Chain A
Amino acid sequence: MNINLTLIGQSIAFAIFVWFCVKYVWPPITAAMEARQKKIADGLSAADRASLDLELAQEKATKELQKAKEEAAALIDQANKRAAQIVEASKEDARSEGEKLIEQARAEIQQERVQARDALRAEVATLAVAGAEKILETSVDAKAHSEMLNKLAAEL
């Protein structure tokens, strides 16, 4: 336990070690550590930003979806309305067509009745003349009596 030159030697060694550490050991390692810390902090904030973005995107997507659904519903509604209109219109058409047809048929029937009645009327006049001829045994002058006969036929 003698105090001697070792003391000074140790102090010198200590000074050299500290100098070396200050100059060549401390700066590169702390620089790397700080760079990594920054990197990690950046990464974390980027992740935060990304999750925020995701949230926004999801919200937007939900909104879009909602909008699309509404549009689709409106379209379907419109289509239904349109279809109902078309059905209604065609029903209307059909009805008017039918009525027209019925009208036409009625007119034809009327016409035919008139014709038939006319024919019958002509027939009746002839028959009446023939009958009268038979009753009178004489020929009736058709020309002379046609006016009377026509009157008769019109009364039928």
Chain B
Amino acid sequence: MAAGTPVEYIKHHLTNLTYGKLPEGYERADGSVVQEASWTFARTGQEAADMGFMAIHVDTMGWSIAMGLLFLGLFRFVANRVTEGAPGGLQNLVEMTFEFVQGIVRDVFHGKNPLIAPLALTVFVWILLMNILKLIPIDYIPSIASALGLGYFKIVPTTDPNGTFGISIGVFLLILFYSFKVKGVGGFTKELAFNPFNHWIMVPFNLLLEILALIIKPISLALRLFGNMYAGEVVFILIALLPLWVQWTLNVPWAIFHILVIPLQAFIFTVLTVVYLSAAHEDH
């Protein structure tokens, strides 16, 4: 354990490794005062919070990019050696993933867009890999990091709202892009203004309702994934606070349960992404 009391331990585990800009005159945790606004690693959770928007979670970015590169590297590796004949083990695994994603897209998406299937594949595998990081015992990597001098380290990017919102905002932009592209500016505006009540008096109400519904999409997408992963993480941390001899009776079942939750959340995120994009392609 990197910190003494349970509260500190929990806080420690829920704080990202933050690299950000501290304002001039800021008093740091050790009492020193920042002379000039400068970029630095946050030493406490308070410092990380005070950095505001001008900060970056190095651990979230690092691990998510690592997982993305793992995904693309692995799949590109297979793509380079792909054979039309009987596939080997790795190619079989990749093809199963492909067929799974193609199945989702075929069932849910009714338009024609060559981007959707690879997008869904990226979303699914990337989120799955990021979620799987959660099965690594929670103290392993942070301990190594603290031995290397990094005070905070959170390895699961999907337990960071920045991580999940980053993806869902990307999806949201695509929804907007295709809504405008397929329906046209007029068509999309009309859809927002005259649904669900097709009368001009109801236009303001409709607009409010539809824009709200539109904005809710990425928020619910991101919060669902984040909430599930974060809650699971917190429970793992709480279990880790128990005496050593009793931990396995709780964290083993919880980890087994997460074998279900991890792909399920990746699956839900993928399906909803495809559903939202499908709705964006439907011209009424």
Question: Chain A residues with Cβ under 8 A from B79's Cβ?
Answer: 24-25, 28-29
A39 touches B84 (CB 8 A): yes
Q: Across the two chains, which residue of chain A brings its CB closest to B19?
A: A5
Interface of A is mostly: helix
B118 touches A25 (CB 8 A): yes
Let me know if B25 is at the binding interface, CB within 8 A: no
Partner of A6, one of B49, B166, B170: B166
Q: Across the two chains, which residue of chain B brings its CB closest to A2?
A: B49
A17 touches B163 (CB 8 A): no
Give residues of chain A (1-16) contacting chain B, Cβ–Cβ below 8 Å: 1-11, 13-16
B60 touches A10 (CB 8 A): yes
Give residues of chain A (54-111) contacting chain B, Cβ–Cβ below 8 Å: none
A17 touches B84 (CB 8 A): no
B20 touches A21 (CB 8 A): no
Q: Across the two chains, which residue of chain B brings its CB closest to A4?
A: B55
Question: Chain B residues with Cβ under 8 A from A24's Cβ?
Answer: 72, 76, 79
Q: Smallest Cβ distance from A106 to chain B, in angstroms?
A: 100
User: Considering the chains assembled together, what is the distance between the CA atoms of A60 and B87 in angstroms?
Assistant: 41
Let me know if A35 is at the binding interface, CB within 8 A: yes
Let me know if A18 is at the binding interface, CB within 8 A: yes
Q: Once A and B bind, how many residue pairs between them come within 8 Å at the CB atom?
A: 130
Stretch at the interface among B119-127, B180-188, B256-264: B119-127
Let me know if B54 is at the binding interface, CB within 8 A: yes
Let me know if A136 is at the binding interface, CB within 8 A: no
Q: Give the most central of A2, A11, A32: most B CB within 10 Å.
A: A2
B68 touches A13 (CB 8 A): yes
A20 touches B72 (CB 8 A): yes
Question: Chain A residues with Cβ under 8 A from B57's Cβ?
Answer: 4, 6
Q: A7-B166, A11-B166, A20-B72 are in contact. Are A26 and B118 (CB under 8 A)?
A: yes
Let me know if B61 is at the binding interface, CB within 8 A: yes
A contact residues, total (Cβ < 8 Å)? 31
Q: Across the two chains, which residue of chain A brings its CB closest to B173?
A: A11
Question: Chain A residues with Cβ under 8 A from B160's Cβ?
Answer: 1, 6
User: Considering the chains assembled together, what is the distance between the CA atoms of A129 and B115 in angstroms?
Assistant: 156
Question: Chain B residues with Cβ under 8 A from A148's Cβ?
Answer: none
User: Considering the chains assembled together, what is the distance between the CA atoms of A32 and B33 in angstroms?
Assistant: 62
Give residues of chain B (155-210) contacting chain A, Cβ–Cβ below 8 Å: 157, 160-163, 165-167, 169-170
User: Considering the chains assembled together, what is the distance between the CA atoms of A142 and B221 in angstroms?
Assistant: 170
B118 touches A7 (CB 8 A): no
A3 touches B84 (CB 8 A): no
Partner of B75, one of A9, A11, A21, A32: A21
User: Considering the chains assembled together, what is the distance between the CA atoms of A5 and B53 in angstroms?
Assistant: 6
User: Considering the chains assembled together, what is the distance between the CA atoms of A131 and B59 in angstroms?
Assistant: 175
Q: Smallest Cβ distance from A2 to chain B, in angstroms?
A: 6
Question: Chain B residues with Cβ under 8 A from A138's Cβ?
Answer: none
User: Considering the chains assembled together, what is the distance between the CA atoms of A5 and B48 in angstroms?
Assistant: 12
Let me know if A36 is at the binding interface, CB within 8 A: yes
Q: Across the two chains, which residue of chain B brings its CB closest to A16?
A: B68
Question: Chain A residues with Cβ under 8 A from B80's Cβ?
Answer: 28
B165 touches A22 (CB 8 A): no
Question: Chain B residues with Cβ under 8 A from A2's Cβ?
Answer: 16, 18, 48-49, 51-52, 55
The contact sample of 7 A-B pairs, CB cut-off 8 A, is: A4-B53, A6-B160, A21-B75, A25-B121, A26-B121, A29-B79, A29-B82
Report which A residues bind B (CB closer than 8 A).
1-11, 13-18, 20-22, 24-26, 28-30, 32-33, 35-36, 39
Give the top 7 A-B pairs by smallest Cβ distance, nearest first. Answer: A10-B166, A6-B162, A26-B118, A32-B82, A28-B79, A6-B57, A22-B118
